[in-house]
Amino acid sequence: MALRTGVIGTGTWASDTHAPTLAAHPDIEFAGVWGRDPAKAERVAAPHGVPAFGTVDALLDAVDAVVLTVPPTVQPELAVRAARAGVHMLVEKPLALDLPAARRIRAAAEEHDVAGLVFLTSRHRPEQGAWIAAARERGGWHSAHASWLAGLYAPDAPRDPADWRQAKGALWDVGPHALSVALGVLGPAAEVTARPGAGDTVHLALRHEAGPSSTATLSLTAPLQQSLFTAVGAAGALAMPTPLSTVETAAATALTDLAAMAATGARTHPTDLRFGEEIVEVLAAAEQSLEHGRPVTPAEVR
């Protein structure tokens, strides 16, 4: 039976990526949309002939799963409500902007036995996901470097607290993408060091529990866009494939995995809520490292 799935949110990701993907997915019944602005919800829903619900609870009552396409400032509350309604979820990165909120989402999902995945494009693009899994299996890595750059803001632009992405900077926006690959290949981090660069640029250095180290350069104020990851080991330097498939393909892959989890009762996955919490834990450690000017272990922020 098709997984009845709704969208929570009305932004570009909802209208241009997730709604069309849901409508085209063979294992999904696109059930409707809810957003804080009813007019925007109607604009997302109408092209696909699905209803725009008047309340989030009405949507949750009508679905088996939801795709959350909302900012991390509001995602924790909505994700917890979905879990309490027994609704499976595909959520945005970062899972939350602090560790307690991330933990609340995972705890609610576990308490109510719902499946949850974090949408991380590098992990859900088939060619990149396969490369990460193979690299993790190969092991023997010495080090790695990630570079996730974009030019969304001027380096000297003042931080706008109303724009979570600019207010929190590259660490929290593109940081989850870089960490999803670094942690996926090299395993959990034992120590995190972060130093500031130009604009909102952050340089990360991670010591992983298994022994290797990794570095990452993150920026939303860079002069170019770049998403690269290279691992170095006995086999030489191996680069993750640059994006070949679209974000819609990544979204479809994530939905296929979520539908399988819902059908089989599986609750673990490489991008499950526990992994989303692990990423937030590393980001929180990096934030503390920036503040105190010293390495921070994830245990210090738990």
- 108-167 pLDDT, tens digit each: 999 999 999 999 999 999 999 999 999 999 999 999 999 999 999 998 888 888 899 999
* Res 1: pLDDT: 80
* Res 243: pLDDT: 81
State whether 133 and 91 are in the same domain.
no
* Res 157: pLDDT: 86
CATH number for 261? 3.40.50.720
State whether 52 and 144 are in the same domain.
no
Q: Which domain holds residue 219?
A: 123-241+279-301
CA–CA dist 85, 237 (Å, integer): 47
State whether 149 and 263 are in the same domain.
no
State whether 132 and 108 are in the same domain.
no
* Res 158: pLDDT: 86
State whether 109 and 127 are in the same domain.
no
State whether 164 and 190 are in the same domain.
yes
> Could you report the per-residue pLDDT of 226-260, keeping only the tens digit for each?
999 999 999 899 999 998 899 999 999 999 999 99
Q: Answer yes or no: are the C-beta atoms of 181 and 198 closer than 8 Å.
A: no
* Res 129: pLDDT: 97
State whether 28 and 129 are in the same domain.
no
State whether 139 and 265 are in the same domain.
no
Burial of 224 (0-12, 13-18, 19+ CB in 10 A): exposed
Instruction: Please give the torsion angle defined by the CA atoms of residues 149, 152, 157 and 162, in that order, rounded to the nearest 10 degrees.
Output: -110
Our count of domains for the chain comes to 2
Whether the predicted pLDDT of 195 surpasses 90: yes
CATH number for 235? 3.30.360.10
State whether 217 and 134 are in the same domain.
yes
Helices 175-186 and 126-138 cross at an angle (nearest 10°) of: 40
